[in-house]
Amino acid sequence: MAKKEAMAQDIQKQPAGNMPLFYTKPAPLDAKKHANLGLQKNFGMGFTKSVNAVPINMIEMPQICHFYPIAFSPDQNATPVALIGLRDNENLFLNEKGEWEPNSYIPAYIRRYPFIFSEMPDSDQLTLCVDMADNIVNENGDQKFFEKDGKPSQLAQNALEFCKSYHAAAQQTLEFSRVLGTSGLLVERQAEINIGEGKKINFSGFRIIDEQKLSELDDADFMEWRRKGWLPFLYAHLFSGAQWQRLTLLLNKRLAAEGKNGKGK
């Protein structure tokens, strides 16, 4: 019989400090400072290569549940996340060419990059920022941020509108997560994944909704959640559990390729 082996994996933590996931040097776009700057053409999705979970917004959950397991962070924020890998520092939906798994919904958090809103100190104003990473932005880039007259380019205008929509959805998600986090419905879970040859991965560091506790939810709370329109998102999370099998299949495919190439981990 094959020897049983277990490898403990976890949802990866956010970068140190207050820097958002993926972002290294976000800075407000300025027509004078950045007149000649632009995005590198087709910079790809390599920035997602080393993560196994990404934040998602509540309104995405009905789409997300068809492709990724949905979990909630173990901290008090109870942030909903899409699980995209089962091993540390590995995104199973990204291939060696930097291409996403075909016909898969890509979370808005990823599609927003490298743009992001920043709250200005002592102000309610939101400012459009871009990650100034060298492999993303450069002088005389193919996709300019500003026209010659200093007005925002179509790229910058589109980014602004997308970030507006994302910010509004994120604010709704904060309330949803706050209430869910204090509801008592979330429980810590550990997934044991069989990867063949008697080997297993124990994946932990996440929470899910306990179906039994949800069925016993107080009638008043249930009606309040229905009034807020949250019930479909709870069910989307529950339905997403079927996607653990997809992650397992993708991991086994990756392991098979590593075995052929002599790159087993």
- Give the contacts of 230 (CB within 8 A, at least 6 positions apart): 58, 176
- Confidence grade of residue 16 (pLDDT, cut at 50, 70, 90): very low
Point out which residues pair with 208 in neighbouring strands. Answer: 187
Q: Residues in the chain, how many?
A: 265
Could you give the C-alpha distances from 3 to 75, 242, 249, 257, 260, in angstroms and in order? 35, 28, 21, 21, 21
Choice among 133-142, 171-180, 213-222 with the minimum mean pLDDT: 133-142
Point out which residues pair with 206 in neighbouring strands. Answer: 189
pLDDT per residue as tens digits for the range 154-195: 999 999 999 999 999 999 999 999 999 999 999 998 888 877
**Please, where are the H alpha helices in the chain?**
61-64, 108-112, 154-181, 211-215, 219-228, 231-239, 244-261
Contact (CB, 8 A) for 104 and 93: yes
Q: Mean pLDDT across the chain, nearest whole number?
A: 88
Token couple for 197 = 């040859």
Residue 2: pLDDT over 50: no
Helix (H, G, I), strand (E, B) or coil at 22: coil
Contact (CB, 8 A) for 71 and 78: no
pLDDT the model gives residue 192:
84
Choice among 95-109, 164-178, 187-201, 244-258 with the minimum mean pLDDT: 187-201
Residue 262: pLDDT over 90: no
Q: Is the pTM of this model over 0.85?
A: yes
- Confidence grade of residue 63 (pLDDT, cut at 50, 70, 90): very high
Q: Exposed, middle or buried: residue 149 (CB in 10 Å: 0-12, 13-18, 19+)?
A: exposed
Residue 122: pLDDT over 50: yes
- Confidence grade of residue 142 (pLDDT, cut at 50, 70, 90): confident
pLDDT per residue as tens digits for the range 17-57: 578 999 999 999 999 999 999 998 888 899 999 999 999 99
pLDDT the model gives residue 7:
42
- The whole-angstrom separation of Cα 207 and Cα 60 is 18
- Confidence grade of residue 258 (pLDDT, cut at 50, 70, 90): confident
